[in-house]
Amino acid sequence: MTKNCLYLSIILAIVLSVSGCADTSNRVEVSLGQEFSLSVKQRAFIKGENLEIKFEEVIEDSRCPWEVTCVWEG
């Protein structure tokens, strides 16, 4: 029983120490109503609202590439 408690305590200590190492270098702090831009994998923290937004990925982009003339049907 004490061995299990020891193992559980060690695992809990490791999890807590790793979760405390949050990467804030890729985080932008903005105010509510303020316009901002995010790159992929970047986060925005809304001050005073306890809200964080993360731009995970672009699933699909149907826009034409930059400086290319695209022709669409219809």
> Pick the residue with more confidence: 24 or 64?
64
Question: Residue 16: enclosing H or E segment and its boundaries?
Answer: helix 2-19
Kindly report the number of other CB atoms within 10 A of residue 30's CB atom: 15
pLDDT tens track for 5-53? 676 777 766 765 555 555 557 889 999 999 999 999 999 999 999 899 9
- Domain locations in the chain as residue ranges: 24-56
pTM to 2 decimal places: 0.48
Please state, in angstroms and rounded to a whole number, the distance separating the CA atoms of residues 56 and 46: 17
Q: What pLDDT was estimated at residue 65?
A: 84
